[in-house]
Structure 1
Amino acid sequence: MTPIGIQAQSIGWIVAATTFAAAVFMLDLITPPWTAAPMLYVLPILLTWLIRGRGIVAFFTVGVLVFTWAGAVFSPGELTSDVTTNRIMASVLLIVIATLVSRQKQLTQQRKAGREALQESEERLLLALDSASMGTWEWDCTTDSLRWNERQFELFGLRSEDFHGTGDEALSRIHAEDRSRVDAAIREALEEGVTFRDEFRVVHADGSVRWLFGSGRPVRDEHGRWSCMTGVNFDITDRRRAQEKVQKQNEALEARVYERTAALIEANERWDWVVRATNDGVWDWDLLYGTAYFSPRWKEMHGFQDSDALESVQEWSARIHPEDRHRVLGALDQYLEGKQSRFSAEYRIQKKDGTYFWVFDRGIAIFNDEGRAVRMVGAESDVTWRKEAEEALRRREYEFRALADNVPAFFSYIDRDQRYRFVNKRYEELFGRSHEELIGMSVQDLLGQDGYAQLQPFLDQALAGEPVSFEYELTLPGDGTHYLAGQYVPDRDQQGQVAGLFALLTDITALKSSEALLREREGQLRDLGTRLLRAQEEERRRISRDLHDDVMQRMGTLTLDLYGLASLMSSEDRGLVSQLKACGASAEQLTTDLQQMAHQLHPSVLEYVGLEAAARKHVNEFAARTGLTAEFMARDAPKMIPLDHATCLYRVLQEGLQNVHKHANATTVLVRLLRSGRGLGLCVQDDGRGIEGGDVAARRKGLGLTSMAERVGMLNGTFRIRTKPGDGTEIHAWVPLEADGRDT
C-alpha cells in the first residue's frame, strides 16, 4: 500500500471513531443511566478489536472515555453510585483492553513485518543462490533423508528422478579419496554443533570429476538435540584449477582485473576472491571527487587498521619516499595525460610507524568520452623481499666482480653454447676487448680456428661433466705468444645437468721461460758433470795405470831387494836381518795396498771379464771384509756392455755397499743385476734401519747419492731410492743399452 493510501485509511478510521464516540454520547444522553452499561462495555471493546493501528486505538479509547464521562454529567438521569462504579469499571476495562489490543496489534504488525522481511530475504537468498549457482541441501540425520534444490542435482551430476534422497547415496557420489574425510567432518560438526566447511570432489555419472565447496550448520529440534543440518554447495572446479595455474596465469589474471573492474566491483564476492588470491592491496581512486578507497589488505600492508579512515590521494602521495616521489607522480601524470599506455612503478612508501618498504604499484584508468580520466583502479604488491634480494645480489655481484678483477688470473664463465657470459678485467686486458664485446661472443670467434682447435677437446670434456686441467699456447696479434695453464670446472644446475663451465687461466709465460732457462742450465750442468766424471774416470784410470806400471813395479823391486839384502847378511846381524825382513814385509803389504787402490780407482776386470764377474767379485770381497751376509744375483745380464755403462753401475755398486757398511746397520745385503726392457738395472737392497723420509734429500750428498744419480743421469738412465724407517733401503739404477750391445 502506498503512503497516500495509508494516510487516507487512517483518516477514515479517525472519522469513524469520532462518529462512534458521538453516537455513544447521544445514546448516553437519551437513555437511562442503567442502559448505558452494556453499551459502555460491549460496543467500545468490539470496535477496539476492529480498529487497525495502535495510534487510532489510543485515540479512540481517549475519545470514548471523554464522551463516557461527559455523558454521565449531561445525562438526564440521576448519577447514582452504581452508575459511577460502572463507568469507572468500564473506563478501567477499556484502558486495559485498549492496552492489550494495542500490544496485540503491535505484535501482529511485527509478525507481519517479519513475515514480509523473511519472504523478501528468502527471495533475495534464492536470487543470490541462483546468481551464485549454489546448491542447497537439508539433511534429516534421524531419518537419513536429504532434500536438494535443482542446482544441487546439477552439481552432483544427477537427475532428481534418479536420486532416492539418502545421505549414503549422496556420500557415494563423493570421490573415494575424499569420502571418509567429508563423512568424518560432517559427523564431527553434528557432534560439536559447529559449522561444517570442506572442499571435496564429486564424480558425475559420465566419469568427470568436479570440485565443490560445502558448508553446513546443524539445527536443534524441540528437545535441543542436533537433529538436522542445512547447507549449501557451489562448484569451485575453476578456482581449484586456477590455483594450480596461478603462477603461470598471474599476468593474465592481472589483466582481467584491469579490464573487468566495473564488473568485479558489482560482483563483490568474486572481487574479494581475486584480491585474496593475489595477496595485493587494492585501491580505487575517484578523480572527479578526489576520494579514494583502500582495501583492508592495502591498509594492512601499510600498517593501518581496517577502521582507519584513508580517503585522500594526498595521504598516499605524501608518504612516498622523497627520492621516489617526483618519479612516481610524474609517471602517473604521464599516464593520465595519455602519454603512456599504462601506469606501473616501483617505489618506497612510508608505513604508519614511519618505516619504509618497497611496493610495485600498477593501475588502469577509465576515461570518459572527452578522454578525461574519471576513475582509476589498481593493485599494489609488497616487493620488499625482492628488492632486498636484488640489492643483496648486486652486492654479491660487486664483491664477486671486485674479487674476480683482482685475482691474478683470467677468469670467465662459458655456457653450454660455448659463449662467454662473464669475464674479469684481466680477460679484457689479455684480448684487448671491452666487456660488452666479450659477453655473448663464442670461444671460436674470440680465439680463431687454430686457437679453438687446441681447446675444443677440453671444452667438450668439461661440458660432458668432467673437470679438466691443461696447458696451451695462445698467440695474439702484436702481443706474441702466451703460455697459459687452464682449468675447466663444470657448472651443474639443480637437476644435475651441466649448464656451463668456469674457466680459470693463468699466464705461465714467465714460468715457461724460467723452465726453459733452467733446462738449459741443467743441460749445461749435466754436460759439465759428464765431462767431470769422465775426466775423473780418466784420471783414475791414469793413476791406476801409473801405480800398476810404475810404482807397483818399483815397490816389487824394492821388496825383492830388501828380502835379498836380508838373505846376504850374516847370522851375527840378526837384529838388522829382522828389520830388513820387516821392511820387506811392509813393502810387500804396501804393494798389495797399492794394487787394491789401483783396482778401486779403475777395476780393469771390467774391461776383460765384464760387469757381472766384476760385481760378483766385489760383493764377495765386501762380505769377506765386513763380515756381512752378502748375496749376488744376476739374470740375463749381457756379457759385454759399453765400458761407460759398466763403470757407471759398478760405481753405484761400490757406493751403495759402502753406505750399507757405514750407515745402514744391516746384517744382510742382496745385490741384483737384471736386464729390464732395453736396459740393464742394478739393485742394492739391505735390511738395515732405513732412512727417514725427511733425511733423504738432506743426506743425498753425504751418502754419495748425488754422485750416483749424476752418473746414471749422464747415460739417460734412472735412479731412485726406496726406503722405510726400520725396513731397510733399496737403491735402483737403470741405464739404457743399445740393441746390438745386449748380447755377445
Structure 2
Amino acid sequence: MAKKPDGSTTLTGLRKQAEELLRSTRRDVAAMPVKEVQQLVHELQVHQIELEMQNEELRRTQEELEAARDRYVDLYDFAPAGHLMLDTHGTIVEANLRAETLLGINRKDLIGQPLARFIARSDEDTFHRHCQEVMKSGTRQTCEVQLGNKAGASRWGYLESLAIFDDEGRITQWRTALLDISARKQMEMELESNKIQLEGIIESAMDAIITVDEGERVVVFNRAAESMFLCQSADAMGQPFDRFIPERFRQAHHGHMSIFARTQATSRSMGRPGGLLGLRTNGEEFPFEASVSHVRIAGQPLFTVILRDITERNRAEEKLRQSELRLQAILDNSPGMVILKDTEGRYLHVNRQFERAFHMTREQVVGKTDEAIFVPEQAAAFRANDLKVHQAGVPLEFEEVAMHDDGPHTSIVSKFLLYDGDGKPYALCGITTDITWRKIAEEALRSSDAFTRSVLNSLSAHVCVLDKDGFILKTNDAWREFARCNLSRTMIGSDVGANYLDVCRRAIADGESTAQVILGGIEDVLGGSQPSFSAEYPCHSPEEECWFLMRVTPLKESQGVVISHTDISERIQMARKLEQHILLLHGKQVELESLAKKLIEAQEEERKRIARELHDDFNQRMAALSVELESLERASLTLSETDVRRLAEIRVQVGQLSDDLHDLAYRLHPSLLEHVGLELALRDHVAEFTKRTGLPVTFDARKVPGTLSLEIATNLFRVMQESLQNVSKHAQATKVTVRLSGSSKGIGLSVRDNGKGFDLEDMNARVKGLGLVSMQERARGLGGFLRIHSLPREGTKVCAWIPRALKGV
C-alpha cells in the first residue's frame, strides 16, 4: 500500500505559497494610512481565525479518511478472493492476504514474483493466452487454471483480470481477482465420472433405456434399445419417440405422458402388465412392459423409459397356462377332492369337488388353514395327519371324517409331499375317496334298529312308521304308552304289525268324522300325490277332551311314511278361551260405544237446555235491565253529568253482556240447524267465526242433501265447530277452508288450515286433544269415521264422513 504523507511537509509547502502571493500584491503596506492598516490587521486576524478553524476541520476529515482507508485495507486483505496487482510483464506488485494463502507464499516474498511461476505446467499455455488477451484487449478476461505451491499442494483457481490505463490511455498495470474453485472442479470431475459410469450402465443394461425431452424427442438410446427396435442409436437420436409405438396407440400415449408430466410423481408403471405394444423398424409389433421416470435438469424436463421385451415370457406363460388348464381340468373333473397345502398347513389349491362339498370358492379357501374352515376337532385331526406325512417323508393313507351339509363324510385320504428342485418339501397333496355311503351301509346294518328306536323314543309326540302298504313297522314309547292307557281311542290304539289303514277304516265304520280325511291324506302321501299331510282331530274320552295334530311325511325313496300325533289340547283350550275373551271384549266395546253415544246425546240435550235458559231467561232479563237503565238515564234530571255518563257506560256493558250471552247460547245450541238446515247453519257459523277472530274462512258446499236428520246435522256441525276452535287456539293459520259435500253414499265435511300442524305420533298431543276424541266418537257413533292429516309446519286437515244408508241421510 502507499505510504501516508507527513503533516509538517504539507504545512511548509502551504507557507511558501502564501509568501509568494504576498510579494505579488500591488499595494505597499508602509504607504497605507494607519486606519487602513488597522483595518487590514483586523481582517488578517479574522482570516487567521477562519484558517485555524478550517485547518482543524481538515484535520478531522483527514483522520476520518485515514480510518476509512484502514477499514478498506482490512476488507481488501481479508476478502474471500485473492487480489493481485501486476505490471505489464506479469510481475506481482501488490497482493492481499487471501492471495498469500492461495499461492502458499508470504506476501513480502510474493511481491516481485511473476504470477506465471505459480501456475501448474499443464495450464501455462492457458495462462499465457490469458495475459495476452488482457494486455491486448484491455477488457475483462477470465480463465481457469491449476495452481501449485512450494509444498506441492495443488488447487484450481479462477482468474478474472482487468487492465489499468494511465491518463494517456496506455496500460500500466492490471488487476487480477483469484478465486479458489477446487471444490467446484472436484464436483465436476465426480459428475463426469458418474456420467461415464451411468453411460456404461445404460449401455450394458439388458433392458432398453430411452430418454426423451419435453417434446418427446430421443436424447438417450442404449444398445439394448437398438436391439429391441432394430434401430441404430444415431438414427434414433432427435427423432420422436412415438415412431416406436403403433400408430393406433400414439394419441393415447401422448395423453398419458402429458398427464404424467403434470403430476408430482417422479416415476410410475406404464399401462397394465402385458398390455403395451412396441413397433420395430421392420414393422413388427411386440409386447413389452415399461416404467417411466420424470426428472428436471436445468429447468428442462426429461422422461426416461425403461422397456423390457416380454415376447418370450408371454410364450412361456401361455405354455404354462395351457399346462395348468389341462391339469386343472383333470383335477376339477375328479370325483374325489384334491387339496394342496404349504408346509405351514395353509391351502394353496383345491379342486371343484372340494368347492361343491363345502360350498366355498377356491378364492375363499386359499391362504387359510384347517382351523379357519373346519370345527376345531376336525381341524386338529387333519393337521395331525399332515404332520405324520411330513415326519415320515413317504406317502400315507388315513381315514378322515369331515362335516358336510348332509352330515359327516368319511373318506380315505392319500397324502404325499411335493419337493422343489433342491429336494426340499414345499407342499403336501391330498387325494380323497369318499366312503361315506359304504360306512353308512355298514353302520346301518349294525345299528339301524337301535338308532331308529332311540330317536323315536326321544320324541314327545306319538310316532309310528308305516311301510308302503300301511303296516306299522316301528312305534316309539310315547305311542305304546298312550295306546296302553287309551285302548278305546281307535286312531292310536295299534301296535307293530297292524295295518294302520285298516285301523282308519274301522274308525270310519264306527262313525269317526275325521277318519275319512285322515285315511285319504295318508294314502295320498303313500301314493306320492302329496308331499305331506296334516290334520287336527278330536280324540275325547269320558274323563277329558283332547285334540291331536297328525302329520304324515314320506320316507326316502317312497318306502313308507312317518305318522306323528302331537297333543294340542292345551293350545285348543287356550284358543277357545281367547275366543271367549274376544267376544267379551267386543261386547264391552259395543257397550262403550253405546255409552259414548248416550253421553254425546246427553251433552247435546244439556247444551240445548242451557242455551234455551240463557236465551229465554237471562237474555230477557238483561234486555229488561238495559231498558230500565235507559229509562233511568232519561228520567234522572237531578243526577250529575258524571252519574249520567256512568249510567250510559253501564247500559252499554249490559248490552254487550246480552250479546255475549246470545252468542254463547248460539254456540251451545245453534237453533238454525232445526230451522234452515246444516248448510246455512255452517255458513252462518263461518261468518260469525270470521267476524269474531278476524281469520278468513272459505266455505264451499256441493251436492248437500236437502234434508238431514238433526242428529247427523248436529254432529257434523259440532265437528266443524271444534275444528275451527282448534284452528283459532293452536294452528296460527292465515287461511282456512271448510268444505261440505254429499254423495249417494254419504255426506262428508273437511276443515283444512295452513297453520303449524302437529305430530300425530306425539302422545302428549293425543292426551291433550280431548276435542279430537269427541269428534271421533261422534263420527263413529253414526257409522262413519273421522281422519286427521297433519305434519309439523304443513297444516292440518280434519275429514269427517257419515254414510247415508245407515242413518237415512
Instruction: Say yes or no: TM over 0.5.
Output: no
Q: Which has the higher contact order (CA 8 A, sep 6+)?
A: 1
Q: Please give the TM-score of this superposition, normalised by the length of structure 1.
A: 0.37
Q: Please give the TM-score of this superposition, normalised by the length of structure 2.
A: 0.35
Q: Quick check: which one's helix share is greater?
A: 1
